[in-house]
Amino acid sequence: MTRREEIETNLAAVRGRIERACTAAGRDADEVTLVVVTKFHPVTDLAHLVDLGVTDIGENRDQEAGAKIAELDPVTRAALTVHFIGQLQTNKARNVAAYADCVQSVDRPRLVGALDRAVANRAGAAGGEATLDVLLQVDLGEGEDAGRGGILPADVSTLADQVAETEHLRLKGLMAVAPLGLDEAGTTAAFGRLADLSAHVREAHPGATTLSAGMSGDLELAVSAGATHLRVGTAILGSRPVQR
């Protein structure tokens, strides 16, 4: 089996899971965007994914992502929406803003300011306007060891308001990773808390409709909770290669 055939087979299986999960939840599968997580995988895999109809990819390491995106030919790049999904250091904001279409891991005021300035600089250099979509990453572990990064739920509204006040960032919604060590009931409850928080944010910011949750092992639970974006890597591309 060629690498393309392997990806095609895995992608079809994941799309089937999403369709069945949507049917069970009474949702239309067209409401859900599959973000294929391509971290640690070569740029040739991205080309296969685009050829197979994938429109969204996720990367979480700036140095790798920037180099990989730069390798893409213009047609392939134009076909992709690139999501940065990893924890982001403030001093890397300018790098990421240069190639990402959406940053899903905004979790503090300093990062909001750094990204806004980075996009402003990009717009100035290009002699035009520029914007960057962002999601707020929520810590569903509420600060405990099981948490997977992000801002505490109690602080989300304030950070959402700060993003909305910027000139170059567009608040699109929330993102979270299920806390470690939870069983199905616990993960369901965690995603339910995220969905409730998303509804609260939308009251003040109606455009913040994105809910990014769910990965290879729990995508069905995320769909049931109303996720609009699923971040799936291993189930499609296989185990990550040895890090370079």
pTM of the model: 0.95
pLDDT at 123: 75
Asked whether residue 113 is domain-assigned, the answer is yes
Token reading at 232: 């799936």
Q: In which domain, by residue range, is 198 found? A: 33-228
Asked whether residue 244 is domain-assigned, the answer is no
Top pLDDT among 125 and 203 is at 203
Question: Contacts from 87-93 at CB under 8 Å and sequence distance 24+?
Answer: 87/60, 87/149, 88/62, 90/114, 92/62, 93/117, 93/118
Top pLDDT among 149 and 233 is at 233
Asked whether residue 138 is domain-assigned, the answer is yes
pLDDT at 57: 98
Asked whether residue 243 is domain-assigned, the answer is no
pLDDT at 145: 53
Top pLDDT among 38 and 122 is at 38
Please give the Cα distance from 108 to 21 (Å, whole number).
33
The pLDDT of residue 122 is above 90: no
CB 173 within 8 A of CB 228: yes
Asked whether residue 18 is domain-assigned, the answer is no
- Backbone φ and ψ for 28, nearest 5 degrees, come out as -90, 130
CB 103 within 8 A of CB 115: yes
Asked whether residue 104 is domain-assigned, the answer is yes
Radius of gyration of the chain (CA): 17
**Other Cβ atoms closer than 10 A to 29:** 14
CB 222 within 8 A of CB 213: yes
- The DSSP annotation for 53-92 comes to T--EEEE--HHHHHHHHHHS-HHHHHT-EEEE-S---GGG
pLDDT at 141: 87
Asked whether residue 15 is domain-assigned, the answer is no
pLDDT (tens digit per residue) in 124-161: 666 668 999 999 999 998 655 555 689 999 999 999 99
Asked whether residue 17 is domain-assigned, the answer is no
pLDDT at 65: 96
Domains held by the chain: number: 1
pLDDT at 244: 46
- The DSSP annotation for 201-222 comes to HHHH-TT--EEE---TTTHHHH
pLDDT at 183: 95
- List the CATH number of the domain containing 209: 3.20.20.10
What's the mean per-residue pLDDT of the chain?
Answer: 94
pLDDT (tens digit per residue) in 88-106: 999 999 999 999 999 999 9
Alpha carbon separation from 212 to 73, 92, 104, 123 (Å, rounded): 28, 22, 8, 27
Please give the Cα distance from 151 to 96 (Å, whole number).
20
The pLDDT of residue 215 is above 50: yes
